[in-house]
Structure 1
Amino acid sequence: MAVPEESLALITFPTAPLTEWLIRRALGLVLPNITITSLPADFASSPNGVLQWAAYDSINHELTLYNKRVLASALIIRKALIRKHFLAGITEAYVKKRPQSILRAAVPRTWHVEIAFADELDELWTDDLYDLSEILDAGETDHVSRKWWILKPSMADAGMDIHLFDTKAKLRGIIEGFDPTDSGSYEDDDDDDAGHLLSQLRHFVIQEYISDPVLIDPRQPKAPLPDHHENFHGHKFHIRAYCVVRGALDVFLYEKPLALFAPAPYASLPTADSGVQDIPLSYEGHLTNTSLQKEEDSTYVKLLEELQGNIDDYGHTVLASDVSDLLDQMATILTETFQAAVDTPVHFQPLPNAFELFGVDFLVSHVASDNGGSSERYKASLLEFNAEPAIEKTGLRLRWILEELFVGIAQVSVRPFLEGDSPEPWEIGVVKHGLRKCSSLQVRSS
């Protein structure tokens, strides 16, 4: 069945012109009969299906909620995923009920901190952060057990205001840097680089820093030279996976995730007895968010599958089976994370007439040698979900994957809805239109 010519699509991404271009291109290929507009008022004149493929703030969510012939490109309520402290909360609750879940090992140990002033830390150490307090105190006396931790604002993005610490004193110093009582009046603080005021951030998560990331030299040739180890400059990277959800609720994973590298080689964090504790840390080798890079360099943005044949910091060659294992892990993690979100309907509510694209970040670390006989050498850990991901950071070299992704979304999420067809039969694990189906959950409220 063809899309009725009267069908209308609102396409508007005011701050993301590449996203809007990709959507218009995809619709032109998949649904050439649809009429595209940027004027929401035109909806009233459309007798047939309406598509709102737009930035979240540009969508008429009330129209989506009460008119089932309107399809929207964002779930109305999904903060269980995109706010870091909510994500930590739903995965923790899920694991308590299902202790065998992959999320037990796939989500770093996390604490939620709600703080408006640095002085509130004293009370938090005896309450919400009691367990962390004991760990940090033990690390002060036993340097072997000392660990590093990462502090992230729950609702900030683009890698802003992320800090590392290994002592209570360092955490207090970080928090005091946000405290408006230490930075003068609001009006006098014109230094954008000084960070955001604590009262504006308020919600943070503290996570155990993964200290054994897989390192790869992004400039390394596929066939390393004989002196490879002498010239190896390992960079930390994370995986940016694109996840599409449809209706209430099918979950898909795009089969070509990215590997995003830190711009500088990785250096192990200092220990208490290394004599360099007071030297300011450089985060360049530790933070892999492309928004933090001063210059766009395609060297640091690769397809995960392009890492096949490279040598990691353990001297292992990355194999096709390693990439396949990571894709399988990510699919399972996504399945169970969405189940955890569905179990929390106050903060996550899928709709039959909505779909959404998320950028999901995973860190890759080495699997311990005593892993119970598993053949997996690498482990994927879930970091965060991003709504309206910054796809422009992919760069020109790999823009073709974005074109493929958006055509896949139009085929899978938009075309069946506007044509009035039932979604095509699709078994779990099968790949169509570049998308692997991870799960199909039944949400009763839908």
Structure 2
Amino acid sequence: MRVLITNDDGPLNDEYSPYIRPFIQHIRRAHPHWDITVCVPHEQRSWTGKAHLAGKDLSASFIYSDIEADDNTFWGPFSQPQQLQTDSSLPYVINPEIPSDAIEWVLIDGTPASCANIALHLLKDKTFDLVISGPNVGRNSSAAYITSSATVGAAMESVIAGDAKAIAVSWAYYDNRKIVPAKLMKMASIRSTQIISHLFENWDSEVDFYSINVPLVDELSGSTKIFYAPVWENRWTAIFNGPHIRKPSVDNQIEDGNESNMITFRWAPDFKNHRNSAHYGIEQNGKIAEGTDMDIIEKRCISVSPLRASFRCIEHLTGELTLKYSEVATTTEEKEEVTQNQNVAALTISKNEYIYQPIKEAILKYLPEFATQASLPDFSKVTKVFQYGDYEQLDVDALLAQPTKYVANSYIYRKALIRKHYLAHTIHSYIVKHPDSILNKAFFESHTLDLDYAEFLDDSLDENWELRQELEREDRWWIVKPSMSDKGQGIRVFKTIEDLQRIFDSFDDEADENEDPNSVADDTKIIISQLRHFIVQEYMTNPLLLPSMNNKKFHIRCYITCKGDLEVFVYDRMLALFAPTEYDDVTKDEDSFDPIDLNRLQGHLTNTCLQSKNQNVQLSVVEFAELSDISLENKNKIIGQIHEIAHDIFHAAVTVNRLNFQPLPNAFETYGVDFLVNDEFDVKLLEVNAYPDFKQTGNELKSLIDELFLNIGKSVIAPLVNGGENEPSTSAVFTKVLSHTSNEW
């Protein structure tokens, strides 16, 4: 049987096309009598339906993969075929480096429909018996998805333009779990090819092509039921948001050369809404119609939709589809039992945590041989252990005593960075030795202050006479912060010693029971004796304000990951976190400023933890790259400064304050580092946060965190666990800024 395989996710790729390699490998092993040709787009071409690029000439390239490969490596690309194809009209080159049984991939720089058309008519001398389009990454169930699907489009093109039998195959993932274990992909391959064989051998004369949806769930097995299913008629809501205004780049000016704001609409489909959108003829109450393809896949069964090229469902094929196979396994290889895994990935945070799924996806992709569980195993019974958990959940003794067996997601000692007064001391010690460091200008003048009660402020200032001298000048604004608090607790802005005294007096006062429930007051009050250590810093009175964001103050949150002892990576997809209200310029009306007016403080605080309490403000978290008021040149200037600051601050911690920052060779840690930018685009370091609150990113920017942990998995976790060197980084957003080796003494 001659089979053409195409898809809409493109060639071998860990992120966009992870399913096609194991699927084709299974077919080659289990069905050696199938003569396979693979012709796919040269890159992902999803959502194009049965489209062609009108007027565009298409070109082919060729890559080759090993039939035994367990990853997506390949030879090529080449401009000509590299192996002898006796039935091909194309010129070829014999390449001795490529095994004779390698899989050949023909890549076309067009759409899936174009790939099917070219392959059916131009690549081979003989006709194809069957076209398989897929397996698609994701589900193709319901009218909203199937009419947009380029996987289904390629199958339809095969019928319309090639009069071929065609089957579109989709593997439906759940809870954003695109990366699945090899064992599960193997089972999906087995079930898919069984169904394909059955349908081909029992083809109904009224069917043009079939659409199959296989659920990628752990319980998928030979007993998973299969049902014929009509397409559920739902409808899209908006799949873009906007409009957004941005300045055109130099290379993208309007034709008359005038400066003009560009209107853009961002890709943002609401998948949940689409799955709950009923239409005429089915259910009218927002529920998925029973027995439809969407209903079947939601029940974690396999759906088979018999279709015409006009999308008309074949109505007389109904009920359960029973295969003739008595067993799931059809080859010796498939009957082999999986050996017990001696490597364990302990994910000890709650499954409800915002970052649980991104971490799990990274483990599945880069530690596929590790069995995932929710608790630490008995170390004596396993080979290696990787743990991601809260600081209190880590086994500190094992982290120190078993560096080759146990890898965890936190260092033990790092207060040189994460406590504000230690951070100030670390930076001061470093710039004394390195006066040319960027930290000399990128960190605010800072003073520490220790006191137990408000009445001891005068004594504390006597001990810190430098701070007293600065405050008595009365020509600068300051900010006071508890050294060991977070979430904006206890932060105040002031100018004079009298202001500072009032602030500490207010800390000792009891909260007003009649306080506005939307006020930030409750969240920012503290008890001095519980904290004791404070830091007083110069306050930035000229922050960068953006008209498009209503001139609200903002800070940049950057995720920085440390690996071992010591490499430092900066994640360049950064966040801009905005205050809930317009910036209050205290320098313009100093007489009216009250340092203990907590509601007025909102224009100065950019912490989203405080904003979430106030229902009258809109939370403002935006990806930094999307800020239209900042030119690309100034964005690059800001990111460049952040890279330089990151290098120096971690180099400072590991060299001048080693007692309080001790990176371990078998640990890593991701910090949330905050920066301010002034109106001249100069960057200032605010603070370094351990165990940052990733959920402040929000659901709309969840992909940013997903990509972060995939980068951490590849460049940090896998090399630490496997004891190997980093792979050369292919990520444009995960930048190594420091590589330091500590003395071994």
Shift of 1:9: 1.1
Q: Which residue of 1 aligns with 2:356?
A: 20
Cα distance in structure 1, aligned partners of 2:720 and 2:662: 19
Equivalent runs, 1:197-208 vs 2, <5 Å: 197-208=527-538
Going from structure 1 to structure 2, the CA distance change for 1:414 and 1:118 (only over 3 Å counts) comes to same
Report the residue type matching 1:304 in the other structure.
Answer: F
Contact 1:359 1:386 in 2 (8 A): yes
Shift of 1:425: 5.1
Matched, 1:409 2:712: yes
Q: Which residue of 1 aligns with 2:644?
A: 332
Going from structure 1 to structure 2, the CA distance change for 1:96 and 1:124 (only over 3 Å counts) comes to same
Structure 2's unaligned 5+ residue stretches are 1-69, 72-181, 183-339, 512-520
Cα distance in structure 1, aligned partners of 2:662 and 2:417: 11
Contact 1:90 1:340 in 2 (8 A): yes
Which of 582, 592, 595 is 1:276 aligned to? Answer: 592
Going from structure 1 to structure 2, the CA distance change for 1:194 and 1:75 (only over 3 Å counts) comes to closer
Report the residue type matching 1:53 in the other structure.
Answer: Y
Going from structure 1 to structure 2, the CA distance change for 1:336 and 1:157 (only over 3 Å counts) comes to same
Cα distance in structure 1, aligned partners of 2:342 and 2:732: 26
Matched position secondary structure for 1:215 = coil
Structure 1 length-normalised TM: 0.83
Report the residue type matching 1:158 in the other structure.
Answer: K
Shift of 1:192: 5.5
Contact 1:245 1:252 in 2 (8 A): yes
Shift of 1:295: 5.4
Contact 1:240 1:260 in 2 (8 A): yes
Going from structure 1 to structure 2, the CA distance change for 1:274 and 1:118 (only over 3 Å counts) comes to closer
Work out the number of aligned pairs and report it. Answer: 394
Q: Which residue of 1 aligns with 2:525?
A: 195
Which of 369, 381, 394 is 1:59 aligned to? Answer: 394
Report the residue type matching 1:351 in the other structure.
Answer: L
Cα distance in structure 1, aligned partners of 2:669 and 2:470: 39
Contact 1:243 1:254 in 2 (8 A): yes
Cα distance in structure 1, aligned partners of 2:522 and 2:624: 35
Matched, 1:91 2:427: yes
Report the residue type matching 2:452 in the other structure.
Answer: A
Cα distance in structure 2, aligned partners of 1:32 and 1:354: 20
Equivalent runs, 1:380-395 vs 2, <5 Å: 380-395=683-698
Equivalent runs, 1:296-335 vs 2, <5 Å: 300-307=620-627, 309-310=628-629, 318-335=630-647
Shift of 1:27: 1.2
Equivalent runs, 1:41-120 vs 2, <5 Å: 41-46=377-382, 48-68=383-403, 69-120=405-456
More helix per residue: 1
Contact 1:26 1:407 in 2 (8 A): yes
Per-residue CA deviations over 1:93-120 (Å, capped at 9, x if unaligned) read: 1111111110011000001111112222
Cα distance in structure 1, aligned partners of 2:603 and 2:545: 11
Shift of 1:16: 6.7
Matched position secondary structure for 1:252 = strand
Shift of 1:357: 0.5
Matched, 1:434 2:733: yes
Contact 1:411 1:433 in 2 (8 A): no
Q: Which has the higher contact order (CA 8 A, sep 6+)?
A: 1
Cα distance in structure 2, aligned partners of 1:8 and 1:411: 17
Which of 566, 577, 597 is 1:249 aligned to? Answer: 566
Contact 1:298 1:397 in 2 (8 A): no
Q: Which residue of 1 aligns with 2:743?
A: 444
Report the residue type matching 1:168 in the other structure.
Answer: I
Going from structure 1 to structure 2, the CA distance change for 1:268 and 1:28 (only over 3 Å counts) comes to same
Shift of 1:20: 2.0
Shift of 1:137: 1.9
Shift of 1:336: 0.5
Matched position secondary structure for 2:473 = helix
Contact 1:12 1:20 in 2 (8 A): no
Cα distance in structure 2, aligned partners of 1:25 and 1:298: 31
Percentage of identical aligned residues: 35
Matched, 1:164 2:493: yes
Q: Which residue of 2 aligns with 1:239?
A: 556
Cα distance in structure 2, aligned partners of 1:78 and 1:162: 23
Cα distance in structure 1, aligned partners of 2:660 and 2:534: 18
Cα distance in structure 1, aligned partners of 2:443 and 2:501: 25
Report the residue type matching 1:84 in the other structure.
Answer: K
Shift of 1:25: 2.0
Report the residue type matching 1:344 in the other structure.
Answer: N
In terms of mean alpha carbon deviation, does 17-26 or 97-106 score higher? Answer: 17-26
Cα distance in structure 1, aligned partners of 2:523 and 2:574: 32
Which of 634, 639, 658 is 1:345 aligned to? Answer: 658
Shift of 1:73: 0.4
Shift of 1:122: 1.4
Report the residue type matching 1:12 in the other structure.
Answer: T
Cα distance in structure 1, aligned partners of 2:460 and 2:720: 49
Cα distance in structure 2, aligned partners of 1:80 and 1:117: 26
Matched position secondary structure for 2:354 = helix
Cα distance in structure 2, aligned partners of 1:209 and 1:285: 14
Cα distance in structure 2, aligned partners of 1:88 and 1:299: 30
Which of 511, 533, 543 is 1:213 aligned to? Answer: 543
Cα distance in structure 2, aligned partners of 1:391 and 1:56: 16
Cα distance in structure 2, aligned partners of 1:32 and 1:414: 12
Shift of 1:164: 1.0
Per-residue CA deviations over 1:385-429 (Å, capped at 9, x if unaligned) read: 111110111111110010000111111111123333222356xxx
Which of 687, 692, 702 is 1:399 aligned to? Answer: 702
Contact 2:540 2:678 in 1 (8 A): yes
Matched position secondary structure for 1:152 = strand
Matched position secondary structure for 1:363 = strand
Going from structure 1 to structure 2, the CA distance change for 1:175 and 1:445 (only over 3 Å counts) comes to farther
Which of 351, 355, 358 is 2:671 aligned to? Answer: 358
Matched position secondary structure for 1:283 = helix
Contact 2:561 2:669 in 1 (8 A): yes
Shift of 1:298: 7.4
Matched position secondary structure for 1:285 = helix
In terms of mean alpha carbon deviation, does 298-307 or 354-363 score higher? Answer: 298-307
Q: Which residue of 1 aligns with 2:577?
A: 260
Going from structure 1 to structure 2, the CA distance change for 1:5 and 1:325 (only over 3 Å counts) comes to farther
Structure 2 length-normalised TM: 0.50
Cα distance in structure 2, aligned partners of 1:256 and 1:287: 22
Shift of 1:303: 1.0
Cα distance in structure 1, aligned partners of 2:663 and 2:561: 12
Matched position secondary structure for 1:75 = coil
Question: Over alpha carbons, which structure has the higher Rg?
Answer: 2
Going from structure 1 to structure 2, the CA distance change for 1:305 and 1:268 (only over 3 Å counts) comes to same
Going from structure 1 to structure 2, the CA distance change for 1:16 and 1:93 (only over 3 Å counts) comes to farther
Cα distance in structure 2, aligned partners of 1:329 and 1:337: 12
Give the superposed CA RMSD: 2.5
Per-residue CA deviations over 1:319-369 (Å, capped at 9, x if unaligned) read: 1111111111011101110111012111000111010100000001123xx
Q: Which residue of 2 aligns with 1:147?
A: 476
Going from structure 1 to structure 2, the CA distance change for 1:136 and 1:362 (only over 3 Å counts) comes to same
Contact 1:243 1:358 in 2 (8 A): yes
Report the residue type matching 2:481 in the other structure.
Answer: K
Structure 1's unaligned 5+ residue stretches are 140-145, 185-190, 220-232, 311-317, 368-377
Cα distance in structure 2, aligned partners of 1:40 and 1:299: 37
